[in-house]
Structure formats: structure tokens, C-alpha cells
Amino acid sequence: MQQLTYIGPGTLEWQDVPPPCLDSDRAALVRPVAVATCDLDALIVSGSSPFEPPFALGHECVAEVAEVGDAVKSLAPGALVSVPFQISCGECSSCRRGRSGNCDAVVLMATYGFGPAVHEWGGFLSDVVLVPYAEHMLVPLPAGLEPTAVASVSDNLSDGYRTVAPALAREPGAPVLVVGGAAAGSIGLYAAAAAVALGAESVTYVDADEGRRRTAESFGATTLAETPRRLGPFPITVDASADPDGLRLALRSTAPDGICTSAAVYFGEQPSLPLLEMYTKCVTFHSGRAHAREAMPDVLELTASGALRPELITSRVERWEDAPAALVAGDWTKLVISR
């Protein structure tokens, strides 16, 4: 079979590799039909990530089930499913606590498309992918959803959703601030779109990029181009900027007893944070990777309802065979590769 392989900065190749086989009765083989870029892919393709080449690319997808093990009863060949980017078993203590991104059954950060286990699991820009814990990992698509619209549920769309959904469940209708702009910039947009869809009283989106601001305005957010020192205060704030100034803006703008969630990746130590102000206001700050599998069913349901429209954030859809050139071009916020 063929898989798209990252060779080095700006260099991607289709390579012939042995196809995976079912290795347990709990596994499934799937055929990706729509693969979305993650914001991290922009860094990978440019050579700005810490991951050493070569490795298979792609960790957001909708796939068609091709073959299932004997113990898999809830899925059949032909079903369309969203495939989480993290490998998880669904049964260990971490998974039972809703922390599938840190599953005890696999190595830390076991993922498709990048990371320390990529050579075991491969990437979604491949003809066939092995899913080891099929009934736990695979989430069927609701009827009527286009695979290209929800390809990013595997990671970035669920990542954006989890930055606002739990806080809005505790404080319905609360106003939300999102500071966007990290890498390709989709996660901040997904966070803002999810906040609008979940009924936030108002959503303010900060980003220097004019195109992303227009996208945010298309689904009802108010936008700012500049990064001021402070806004609000907001009970719910999100840092998706990967910019120390953006992070400080989100933290300073968080209301007393509010929560700030950072979905951005920061490489290296960062300048000082407003810790005394955070302490005085009793701000909760959460930073870390998303546990995508837990959020995926809710994201799909919200999209199927029509309240969330992730297709507004998609820059364009390209053909499968054109994936290398489209990825290297880098002129996208969310690129979807479709068979």
C-alpha cells in the first residue's frame, strides 16, 4: 500500500509500505476517506517540530471500516467512522477516568501521524490503517454528515471544543474570550465556533490574521486584530495563540474564579506569567493535550444538530493524489484531503 511520508522540511513522498494486518480480535482495519491537517502539521512540514523524519503523516480522519476482528460486534465493513488520533484501550484506569490521551496500555503519546509510536501505528494519509481497540476508539458518523466537514473531529475540532464546553456546562451562557493564531490557527477558531454553538452570551476572538478573523465573524464572533494587555473580564478564556503575549492576555482577562485553558504548544520555557493576579483572583489554569476520544461523540452530535459548522473553517478540499503539493504549499488554516 502507499503512505505519505515526511522526509524532511518541505519534502513529502508517497512510499510503498507493507499493509497492516489484523493482529487481534479487537482490532479493525480502516480506509481513510477524508484526512484533515492538524495545526501541528504546518510545523512538521516546515521542519519546525521536534519529531525526526522519516515518518507517516496524518492524524485527523474519517474512515470507512474495511475489516473487523471477531470480537468487534458494533461495527461492520462499510461504516463511516471518526478515528481519534490517540491510541487508547478504553479499559485501563486512565481511560475509565476519561483520560484516554494517557492510556496505560500504550506508550505515552501513542498517536497516528507523529510522536514516539508513529512507526508502529503509521498515519492517516495511508491506504489502510490498523485500529487496535476498534469498539472503543471508532466513533460512527451520524447520518447526513459529510466526511470532509468532520475530518478534524479526530483532534483539532475536539481540542477546540474541550476548551469551552465543560466551562459553559458549569456556567451556561457565559461570555468567552479566545486568543487564536497558533501555527495554522484552526484550534482557536474551533474553540470560538464551539462557544457560539453552545450558547455563549458573546464570543470575542483575537487574532492578527485577517482571514481567520473573517472566518470567526462568519459564525458570529466579535474580533480584534491587536493583542491588548487586558480585556473583559471573562469567566471563560482560551489561549490558542502559542504567543507569550497572547497567553498573558488570556490569563489577565480571566474573571475571578474563572478558568483559562491553553490548547497551544509552547516549546521551551516561557517568560513570567501574572501569577500573583491569578492567585488573587482564584483563576484556574489548565494546559495540556486534549483527550480527544471523550469529546468526539458530543462534537459529532453538535455538528449533526446544525449548531456547529466546522466546514466554515476549512480552507479548501484537495484530491488525495495532490496531498504532497497541497501540504507543502502551507497556505491553509484547515486543509482536507479527500479520496
The pLDDT tens digits of the residues spanning 174-197 come to: 999 999 999 999 999 999 999 999
Is the pLDDT at 130 greater than 90? The verdict is: yes
pLDDT at 275 over 90: yes
pLDDT value of residue 270:
81
pLDDT at 21 > cutoff 90: yes
Alpha carbon distance 21, 89 (integer Å): 18
| Structure letter (DSSP) for residue 19 | P
Give 203's strand partners.
176
Non-local CB neighbours of 93 within 8 Å, separated by 6+ positions: 104
Domain ranges of the chain: 2-155+290-338, 159-287
Provide the grid cell at 306: 446544525
Q: Specify whether domain 2-155+290-338 bears CATH 3.90.180.10.
A: yes
| pLDDT at residue 269 in the model | 85
Query: What is the distance between the alpha carbons of residues 302 and 291, in angstroms, rounded to a whole number?
Result: 18
User: What pLDDT was estimated at residue 226?
Assistant: 96
Would you say residue 20 has pLDDT above 90? yes
Q: Which amino acid is at 245?
A: D
Each residue of 114-134: b (16+ CB within 10 Å) or e?
bbebbeebbbbbbbbbbbbbb
According to DSSP, the residues that pair with 12 across neighbouring strands are: 6
Confidence check: pLDDT of 272 > 90: no
Q: Are 51 and 38 in contact (CB under 8 A)?
A: no
Given a contact cutoff of 8 angstroms between Cβ atoms, the answer to whether 333 and 211 are in contact is yes
- The rounded mean pLDDT for the chain is 97
Contact 26, 135 (CB under 8 A): yes
> Residue 268 — very low, low, confident or very high, per pLDDT cuts 50/70/90?
confident
pLDDT tens for 138-147 read 999 999 999 9
In sign, the C-alpha dihedral spanning 241, 322, 54, 19 is: positive
292-304 and 186-197 helices, crossing angle to 10°:
60
- Three cell numbers, residue 191: 474553540
% of the chain beyond a pLDDT of 70: 100
Residue 314 banded pLDDT, cuts 50, 70, 90: very high
Placement of cell 502559542 in the chain: 242
pLDDT in tens, 40-53: 999 999 998 888 99
Examine the pLDDT at 271 and tell me if it is beyond 90: no
pLDDT at 267 over 90: no
Region class of 237: left (phi > 0), else alpha (psi between -120 and 50), else beta: beta
Between CA 333 and CA 69 the distance in angstroms is 37
Query: CA-CA distance, 317 to 147, in Å (whole number)?
Result: 11
28, 69 contact by CB (below 8 A): yes
Q: Is the pLDDT of residue 81 over 90?
A: yes
CA distances (Å), origin 166, targets 24, 82, 218, 299: 35, 22, 24, 12
Which residue in 110, 269, 250 sits closest to 177, CA to CA?
Answer: 250
- Residue 11's pLDDT is 97
C-alpha 156/C-alpha 168 separation (Å) is 19
Pick from 124, 250, 84: nearest CA to 182: 250
Asked, colleague to colleague, whether 2-155+290-338 and 159-287 share their fold, the answer is no
Q: At the topology level of CATH, where does 159-287 sit? A: Rossmann fold (3.40.50)
Triad 121, 124, 128: Cα angle to 5°:
75
